[in-house]
Amino acid sequence: MITRLFTTLCSSSPALRRTLWKFWYNFLGGRYQQRDWTFMNYGYEPLDDTEVRPALVEEEEPDRRCIQLYDHLACAVPLEGKWLIEVGSGRGGGCTWIHRRYTPRGTRGVDFSREAVALCRRRHRWKGLSFVQGDAEDLPIQSSRVDVVINVESSHCYGSRERFFQQVARILRPGGVFLYADFFSEEELRDVRDLLAASGFHIERDKDITDNVLRAMELDHDWKQKKIQRILPFGLAGLFEQFAGLKDTRIYNTFRDRDLTYRSFVLKSGIES
C-alpha cells in the first residue's frame, strides 16, 4: 500500500517526484550508515558464458551483481586517464569501484542528497576521487570538461530527463561518452530516445538487459532479505523489500511481465575534434 502510494505521488508531478526521492535518500543516508551497504541498484547477471565477469576480492562478493551492472557499462569504453563523473552516485559504491578498477584520471560523484554525499566523503577516501552535492538538472560542473558521464538507475527520480540530458551534453567534451542505465515503460523509452537525439547524442549501444537484471534480483533475493531483516525494524522491512526489488515485489513483477524494460546505453556526444 505504501509503495503504491509513493509511486502514485511520484507520477503525479515532476516537482513532487524530486522532493519525495530527495527526502527518501536523505533519510537513508542519515539513518542507515552501515559500512557494508554501498550499492543500491538491482544488479546485473551475465546470461552468456562468454561474457567475462569481473574478478572481485572476497569482501566485494556480496555486491557482485551490483558491481556487474557498473562493469557492464564501464567496460564499454577505455576509462584509464579520463575525467569521469557519476551523476546520482548514491552511497558511493559504484563510483568508488570504477575509480579503483579502471583508474580514470579523476572521478567525481554528484548526488542530490546532502546526507548521501556526507556519507561518501567519510567512507570512500581515495586519491583522485571526490563527492559533491548537486542537481542532475543543473550540474555544478563547467562546460566541456568531462570525458565520461555515468548514470545508473537514477534518472527515474528526476523531475526532467530532458534537462538532465542537456546538462550531460553540456559538461561532456566533444566526442565524450555517456554511459546510461535505467528502466522505462514503452512510452518513456520512445521519449528518451528522442530526447537523447535532441540533446546531440549518437546512440552506439541500446541494449535490453531486463533478463540480466531479473536474474540478478533472483540470485540476490536471500541475502538481501536477511540483510533487511537484520538492519530494519519490522514496520519498515516490507517497504525496503519493495525498494530492494525482492522476488514477487511490485518492481520485480513489472520487469518479469515486461511492463518495464531495463536498458543500457552507450552514447557519444557531439563530434570528435
* Residue 151 resides in a domain: yes
Give the pLDDT of residue 96: 97
Contact yes or no for 221/249 (Cβ under 8 A): no
Reported as a pLDDT band with limits 50, 70 and 90, residue 230 is confident
**In the predicted structure, residue 98 carries a pLDDT above the cut 50:** yes
Determine the pLDDT at residue 176: 97
- Could you read off the pLDDT of 120-142 as tens digits, one per residue? 999 999 999 999 999 999 999 99
In the block, residue with C-alpha cell 543500491: 40
Residue 231: inside a domain, yes or no?
no
∠ CA 41-52-107, nearest 5°, is: 50
Segment 163-198, tens digit of pLDDT? 999 999 999 999 999 999 999 999 999 999 999 999
Question: What's at 9, amino acid-wise?
Answer: L
Residue 129 falls inside a structural domain: yes
Say yes or no to pLDDT of 232 above 80: no
pLDDT for residue 5 is more than 50: no
The closest alpha carbon to 65, from 38, 43, 92, 95, belongs to 43
Give domain status of residue 235, yes or no.
no
Residue 38: the pLDDT is 85
Which band of pLDDT confidence, cut at 50, 70 and 90, is reported for residue 89? very high
Residue 223 in domain: no
Residue bearing cell 526521492 = 21
Average confidence (pLDDT) over 67-79: 97
Q: What is the residue range of 31's domain?
A: 2-218+260-269
In-domain check, residue 233: no
Give the CA dihedral 15, 146, 264, 64, nearest 10 degrees.
-100
Residue 236 lies in a domain: no
Has residue 30 got a pLDDT over 70? no
Q: Could you tell me if residue 250 is inside a domain?
A: no
Mean pLDDT of the chain: 89
Tally the domains of the chain: 1
**What CATH number has the domain bearing residue 73?**
3.40.50.150
Report pLDDT for 2.
44
